[in-house]
Amino acid sequence: MTVDATRVLRELYGAELTRHADLYRQSNAHRGSHRCDVYPSDPEAAPLWPVLTALARARRFLEVGCGLGYTAALMASAGGPRSHVDTIEDDPLHADLAERAFARKGLSSRIRVHRGTGRSVLPTLRGPYDVIFLDSDWREYPRYIQHLIRLTRKGSVILTANLSPLFGGWGEDLPGKDKIRSFLTKLIRDRRFRTYILPGEWHALTVRV
């Protein structure tokens, strides 16, 4: 008999798995019509945000790659009413749709969408951030390292998505594996950080030490 892991997770986590699921669904529907790369995070990863928030005692969150706002909304909910999220989005339509969603959800005062690429916006931000989520074009990631150093403090947590092309998962045929390798090599060798790459998921979990 095969195990339905999603069903088990649903039983265990209940409503935590469906928080802001409307944005998850909208992102998937939007991708079909816009033919873009707005792949939202998996709802099964939703319970990760309260865990990272507790680990880092997080009040300030930063995201590169807002999409339609699903993960930014999860971060804002995990951080609670005194938290704030800065999220960066390069596609103006995604930024518009995310801002509309945050307004609908009463989150506009706590989530700010910065328009532009990560590499252009990061230099304008001031830290420290407690939790950072990288979910944009991996070919920019090596340029982010200097900002990760500047924008974190001891105990800050960084989650990096979109590493799969290097490990033979989705995106295996896409360009930029060398950029992912360079990013991970720098991060892993930098003594200011400790990094664990989650096999299968191919996310990197990093702590500033």
Write out the residues near ligand SAM by the rule CB under 6 A.
27, 37-41, 64-65, 67, 70-71, 88-91, 94, 117-118, 135-137, 140
Measured from the CB atom, is 153 or 170 closer to ligand SAM? 170
Measured from the CB atom, is 118 or 165 closer to ligand SAM? 118
Strand order in the sheet with 193-198: 111-115, 84-89, 60-64, 129-134, 152-160, 203-208, 193-198
CB pairs under 8 A, 24+ apart, for 191-200? 192/149, 193/148, 193/158, 197/163
Q: How far is the CB of 147 from ligand SAM (least distance, A)?
A: 12
Q: How far is the CB of 128 from ligand SAM (least distance, A)?
A: 21
Measured from the CB atom, is 4 or 162 closer to ligand SAM? 162
Q: Residue 114 is encoded by which pair of tokens?
A: 């910065």
Please report, in angstroms and rounded to a whole number, the separation of the first and last CA atoms in the chain. 45
Query: Based on the number of CB atoms within 10 Å of its own CB, is 11 exposed (0-12), middle (13-18) or buried (19 or more)?
Result: exposed
Q: How far is the CB of 137 from ligand SAM (least distance, A)?
A: 4
Cα 173 to Cα 46: distance, rounded to the nearest angstrom: 28
Measured from the CB atom, is 23 or 56 closer to ligand SAM? 23
SS3 at position 88? strand
Measured from the CB atom, is 22 or 190 closer to ligand SAM? 22
Backbone angles phi, psi at 128, to 5 degrees: -85, 150
SS3 at position 132? strand
